[in-house]
A and B are shown apart, each in its own frame.
Chain A
Amino acid sequence: MSWQGLKLWFHSLASPPHLYRFAATIEPWLAWPAWILLGIGLYAGLFIAPADYQQGDAFRIIYVHVPSAWLSMAGYAALAVASAIGLIWRIKLAHWVAHAAAPIGASFTFLALVTGSIWGKPMWGAWWVWDARLTSELVLLFLFLGYMALAQAFDDPRKGDRAAALLAVVGVVNLPIIKFSVDWWSTLHQPATIAKFGKPSISWDMLWPLLAVWLGATLLFAALTLLRTRAIILERERSQSWVAEALR
């Protein structure tokens, strides 16, 4: 495909009927590998990976905690980028993709907080501490919830789109705070284990199941976002003639 062709294809994604059909085509190709990777990764993480020499079997919570924490931040970054595109270029579909990603991102943020808390109790002796990493992650959950509430708070959905998008863009400031909180402040939460530019401080036997769950969860996030985007497209465009054809 030429550069011009690629540009045309990308622009065509701003058209609701095109994105609706494109999402329907690509969705199973994301969802099935996602479930397979999640199954393999969780099985290997729980039953094949060796126990940690310090934390014992409690370390296995990493296989659900780290992918959840990653998706909470990546999900918010995707939501903010889509919101910025919607605000700057006034592409309504970008707002709808952001709306679709919000509840999924919120659920993974909730998972990151709760699985972290479950991990914290045996390791730190406390379910919760007002540590910089935990507190900034909690703020992220409030940002997701605020985004969803604001998007629904107006009679005119376009006003809701813009107000929520503004909140999403401003909230991006929280992402580097979450990421670097463990370096900037003295926190109980451990520093980066996997996302190091040098050698990760985790053995390959423990790492590969984590990468499988991480990739599976990311693909599932994308598949669910596309499914929700299709739902929003149908809701907002239901009076359009192309919808009747698409539903046949």
Chain B
Amino acid sequence: MNLSFGVYGGYVWSAVGLFVFVTLVNLWAARAAYSRARERASRANANNSEPRSP
């Protein structure tokens, strides 16, 4: 298996590394947005279901 790709190794690995990094950041950001929204919705629902004082 040739891992160096000759004189172009730096270019190939930079491009592939960046692609993998941005893809993983995308996944992390989407999951973080969902967790945040879920937490806020849970809090909002907890506040709504609390008994109100007369």
Contacts and interface: CB of A to CB of B under 8 A. Distances in A.
B23 A56 contact: no
A56 B8 contact: yes
Given A227-B31, A235-B37, A243 B11 contact: no
Contacts of A61: 11-12, 15-16
Interface in B1-54: 1-2, 5-9, 11-12, 14-16, 18-20, 22-23, 25-27, 29-31, 33-34, 36-38, 40-42, 44-45, 48-49
Contacts of B45: 238, 243-244, 247
A57 B12 contact: yes
Nearest to B41: A238
Contacts of B48: 239, 244
Summarize B's interface: helix, strand, loop or mixed: helix
B15 to A, nearest CB: 4
Contacts of B8: 56-58, 60, 122
A238 B44 contact: yes
Contacts of A114: 15, 18
A247 B45 CA distance: 9
Contacts of B37: 230-232, 234-235, 238
Interface stretch (A62-70, A136-144, A163-171): A62-70
Contact of B15 (A47, A64, A110): A64
Contact of B49 (A57, A235, A244): A244
Interface in A48-107: 56-58, 60-61, 63-65, 68, 103-104, 107
A46 B12 contact: yes
A69 B48 CA distance: 46
Contacts of B5: 56-58, 60
Interface string A144-162: 0000000000000000000
Nearest to B35: A231
Nearest first, the 8 A-B pairs at minimum CB distance are A57-B5, A64-B19, A234-B37, A238-B41, A58-B8, A231-B37, A231-B34, A231-B33
